[in-house]
Structure formats: structure tokens, C-alpha cells
Amino acid sequence: GAGVSQSPRYKVAKRGQDVALRCDPISGHVSLFWYQQALGQGPEFLTYFQNEAQLDKSGLPSDRFFAERPEGSVSTLKIQRTQQEDSAVYLCASSLTSGYQETQYFGPGTRLLVL
Amino acid sequence: DAKTTQPNSMESNEEEPVHLPCNHSTISGTDYIHWYRQLPSQGPEYVIHGLTSNVNNRMASLAIAEDRKSSTLILHRATLRDAAVYYCILRPLRTSGTYKYIFGTGTRLKVLA
């Protein structure tokens, strides 16, 4: 079946531009996560949605980062006034429920390069 | 949350077994042990998870020490396609909060032809 998809796969932005990254989770998955992965590091948690509700945004690094999931399916991560330190791979993951034993299914990521 | 410790890198010859260790000396009784791997230019991929007993699936086996302070991911016959970064992650039981994953830097496995 279809997995998690993300678009675009690559994005080059000039410093100061706004960008929007899209995530299409597996159909019917309640939980959706965003992670940021810097070069050579493991992914780091950014934010979590249960359906359309954003229940945890403790990992968002600044108020320039904003995420939404208005209808409980597709999610968008928006970064305003991009900075060079925002260059990273942004990963989206979904899971069927929010339960203790659920595993997460990751998309291929969007590689963002800010010049 | 309890932390895990993994070697930065390991090498294996193709078609030989690989044992990837993970130390988690501060694990608590309800922490699940999850393993993911990340192939080049891809997102992490679930491999296996377990609580106390050893686990097997089509991808790998997970051997958990009796005191649960360490575990080993076993790839029975490494192939070139198994070259990836392998992450060992603890999943605590929460009464509140998010079931996010906390990744370390993992073990980069190189498979030699």
C-alpha cells in the first residue's frame, strides 16, 4: 500500500524566504509527527498531531516554525523567514493510533537548503 | 527518558551475520526497545521491537539481555542493501505526553562485498 509521502523532496530557499513542506500520511493514521534531521545526526522531534489537534509542539525551535493539519490528514510545516541553520532534512511520520505499542512510518523527507 | 549507547560504526562482510549492540543501563521495566534503520537518502524504517523476550521477524532478530540493560540486533546474513544507520530507541510507557521517538546518532553499518 501507499506509504507516507512528502513534497517537495528538495527545496532550495534564499535566506529570508518562507517555505511550506507537505506531508501525506498513510490513510487512516491518526497520529502525525514532524522531525528535523541535521547532517550526520539522528532525527529530532518537532511537533505532533492527533487528528487535527496539535498536542505537542515542544520541539519547534522558534516561532518561525508553524505546522498545521486542518482536516486531520495532510499536514504542512511552514518555516517563515528561513535562516541558514534551518537547512536540514524534514521528516514526517504517521502511526495508526497514538498508543504505546504503535510504530511510526516515516516518509522520505524533504531536504531543505537555505542559501 | 532513559538513554541508549551504540557504537558509532561497524563493518561486516556480505552474507555474514551482524550483531549490533545497544546499551541501555537506565532502562525501566515498561520501556520497549525499538530498532529503526535509515538507508541513504530515506526516512527511518522500522526493524523490530521487544520488551523482555527475544523477538524474530523477517528482517532481523532482537536479543534482549536478562537484566534488560542491553540488547543486540542480529542480521542473520548481511547484504549490501543492509548498509544503513541503525538506531536503538527506548519507548517508555507514558501516562501523559507524546509517544515521540528520541533518536541518538545510531550505528553506521558498512557491508563489504
The closest CB to that of A55, out of B41, B85, B98, belongs to: B98
Residues of B in contact with A95 (CB under 8 A): 99
Q: Closest Cα of chain B to A43: distance in Å?
A: 6
Mean pLDDT of all residues in B89-100: 79
Express each pLDDT in A47-98 by its tens digit. Answer: 999 999 999 999 999 999 999 999 999 999 999 999 999 999 999 999 998 7
* pLDDT above 90: residue A6: yes
Buried b or exposed e, range A83-93, using 16+ CB within 10 angstroms: eeebbbbbbbb
Residues of A in contact with B9 (CB under 8 A): none
Under DSSP, the state recorded for B30 is: T
* pLDDT above 60: residue A27: yes
If DSSP codes are grouped into helix, strand and coil, which group holds residue A17? coil
Question: With bands split at pLDDT 50, 70 and 90, how would you rate the model's confidence at A102?
Answer: confident
Q: Which percentage of chain A shows pLDDT scores above 90?
A: 92
Contact A82, A114 (CB under 8 A): yes
> Chain-wide mean pLDDT for chain A?
95
Chains A–B, number of C-beta pairs less than 8 Å apart: 60
The DSSP code sequence of A56-88 is E-TT--STTEEEE-TTSS-EEEEESS--GGG-E
Show the cell assigned to B102.
528520541
Cis bond before residue A8 (omega within 30° of 0): yes
If DSSP codes are grouped into helix, strand and coil, which group holds residue A53? strand
A82 touches chain B (CB under 8 A): no
Q: Closest Cα of chain A to B3: distance in Å?
A: 14
The whole-number pLDDT of residue B95 equals: 66
B68 touches chain A (CB under 8 A): no
The closest CB to that of A106, out of B45, B102, B106, belongs to: B45
- Which residue in this structure is represented by grid cell 538507508? B39
A68 touches chain B (CB under 8 A): no
Distances (CA, A) of A109 to A10, A77, B39, B42: 9, 12, 12, 7
